[in-house]
Amino acid sequence: MGHERIIEKIRKLLSLSKSDNEHEAATAAAKAQELLSQYNLSMSDIPAGDDGRIHADTAKTRTRQRLEKWAMSLAYHTAKAFDCAYYHSWEGNTCFVGVGADQEVCAWTFGYLYKTMLSMASRHMRSPQCRRLRSSRSKSLARESYLRGVVLTVSGRLMAQRTRTPVTQTDLVPVKMDAIEAAMPDDLRSSSLEFKKVRAADLEAGMTDGLNVPLSSPLKGARQLEITA
């Protein structure tokens, strides 16, 4: 097979790798990876073209107008686990940018984890150790410390899951990241995720409880069809 024909075939496979059909997309991506390896090529050797260019899309999850630091940390790590990027809009949406179905699955996973952790924090604040707290400042710190602990554990589990089952084939990562960067808004503002204080007991409780949080939950009805079709 001539060099130009190889390049053209890889470009067509890359185009198929963004198919809505999950099996077809996975097969095409695997074949593209196989050809790249077989002919000692990298993605930089594949010229961009309309039939080979990968485009990124955005999926949104409704959260709060001002996202708390623990939730920003959760969004960051959830996005990383699914090879996506995230930003929070002024309208109160946490937005995930990815390729193919990545951003849909990522947004759904974050929304599920976000709501789950809010419920966990409410239960924790009703525990005996928190009921003894008197000032609103102490209660706020206890809640934040607990949620930070849950996020620490869940984020670690998400990263371990990503290592075991990568979302993207290695040679396709740079292409996807370029597409995601191009789709991100230009006027993003960065926020510090530094936690200045922590209540050790609440942090530890959150880290322990984070071990019992399922990383996924069964998808049902139209939402399942939308993501897996």
| Per-residue pLDDT reduced to its tens digit, 57-72 | 899 998 988 889 999 9
Average pLDDT over residues 145-150: 97
Residues 6+ apart with CB under 8 A from 172: 14, 17, 29, 32, 33, 43
Name the one residue in this structure whose structure tokens are 């290592």: 163
Tell me the pTM.
0.71
pLDDT of residue 12: 79
Name the band, by pLDDT with cuts 50, 70 and 90, for residue 45.
Answer: low
Please report which confidence band the pLDDT of residue 229 belongs to, taking 50, 70 and 90 as the band edges. very low
User: Is residue 226's pLDDT more than 70?
Assistant: no
Say if CB 110 and CB 94 are below 8 A apart: yes
Tokens 């949406």 belong to residue: 93
Q: Is the dihedral of CA 122, 123, 128, 129 positive or negative?
A: negative
Order of strands across the sheet that contains 56-62: 56-62, 93-99, 85-88
Average pLDDT over residues 174-184: 85
The per-residue pLDDT for 218 is 44
- Amino acid residing at 60: K
